[in-house]
Amino acid sequence: MRPSRLLSFFAWPVMIGLVAALLLLITVPELRPAGWASSTAASNHHDNSFANLSYAHAVDRAAASVVNIYSRKVIETRRHPLADHPLYEKMFRNSGQQERVKSALGSGVIVSTEGYLLTNNHVIEGADEILVLLHDGRRAGATIIGNDPGSDLAVLKIELDNLTPISIGNPNQARVGDVVLAIGNPFGVGQTVTQGIISALSRYGLGISSYENYIQTDAAINPGNSGGALIDTHGNLLGINAAIIFDTVGIGFAVPADDAMKSLEDIIRYGRVVRGWLGLDAERLTPAAITALGLKNVSGLRVTNVFLNNPAHIAGIRPNDVITHINGQPIGNERQGLREVADLSPGTQVTVRILRPHSQGSLPEELEIEVTVGERPDNLEVNRT
């Protein structure tokens, strides 16, 4: 028999056998090789991983805790100064004391079953009436418990049952690049969710408020989002949306949740936010300052001002002293060091390690000074040394 005819004679039975074997493998799982299932599952998981990527679970957990806030302020217009003049009184006959209503909108976050809410101070500042609209359609008037202009936060309370407080996350574990979601009421259109990432942490020096420690995000935070929630992909609160830089895209800021909750607890307990204070101003020690002060290989903060009759002044700290440690912990930058003090209760004793520069050529003096932490005043326009 010729080879071509022999090949043709066996080809069809072989093809039929392969097709039959494949059908058996598909219909009878027990006949499949050991690695088949795992490799197939891994392939399917890889193919579906992007198709199934969704943050709906996170939104479902947090949405019921985010509310819309409508505030109303009555403004009285002044009577025209010529209204009582004999020559002009007819012109201003109907221009007596008048009132006009100024409305504002924003968002808030329910943080307890007792009805406490966090929002921004600028959302409700000066309001005569505040209405809160819940995600489930219920509405209630809100009472202002207190505010903290220093961080632009306010605490409200509503009297309703079956409230859903948001789960509080840990901003200290957040990282630049983490995905976050902003929930609020932009432009009054209703609850809206936007998505982005954490662009930066511990932002300060922006001139937005006097006490700044912001999470920066590129998630859209539009007018009306103020006071809303910035959450992680599990639905936990990372921050209270606070501000945007106008005329830019993708630059928004939120007050970290731990800072916001401390403000809430202080306001409920004391009626105000209590922050520790050393009674000084300080700046990062730059290479130029190190040279000017005759120092070498030093990191810390240079004291620029000391407030008279306040903790640092009483303890003997002077301008140009360099703070290197507080309670044995090295100070990396001015924000880190002074924020650690702000978290302490007034009356707490801290040990401040300083280098005191002397005349050119002499070594700086290293001192450890005990300082009793004071309370940071709302108005820092007090005497400096």
- Kindly name the residue from 122, 199, 258, 313 that is annotated as catalytic: 122
Catalytic residue among 65, 71, 199, 226: 226
Is 136 an active-site residue? no
Distance between start and end Cα atoms, the chain: 114
Q: Which residues contact 325 (CB under 8 A, 6 or more apart)?
A: 300, 331, 351, 352, 353
CA 8 vs CA 18, 38, 238: distances in Å = 16, 38, 72
Q: Return the ∠ at Cα 5 (arms to 3 and 9), rounded to 5°.
A: 115
Contact in structure between 184 and 287 (CB atoms under 8 Å): no
Are the CB atoms for 66 and 167 separated by under 8 Å?
A: no
333 alpha-carbon distance from chain centroid? 20
Q: Which residues pair with 345 in a beta bridge?
A: none
Report which of 345, 328, 349 is spatially closest to residue 337, judged by C-alpha positions: 328
Is 85 labeled as catalytic in the residue annotation? Answer: no
> In 3-state terms, what secondary structure has residue 246?
coil
Q: Kindly report the backbone phi and psi dihedral angles of residue 303, in degrees, each rounded to the nearest multiple of 5, phi listed first.
A: -75, 120
- The CA radius of gyration of the chain, in Å to the nearest whole number, is 32
Burial of 11 (0-12, 13-18, 19+ CB in 10 A): exposed
345/135 Cα distance (integer angstroms): 37
Asked if 82 contacts 88 with a C-beta cutoff of 8 angstroms, the reply is: yes
Active site residue 152: yes
Catalytic position from the list 152, 218, 259, 321: 152
Tokens 């140009």 belong to 320
Q: Are strands 153-157 and 143-148 parallel, antiparallel or unpaired?
A: antiparallel
What residues are labeled active site? 122, 152, 226
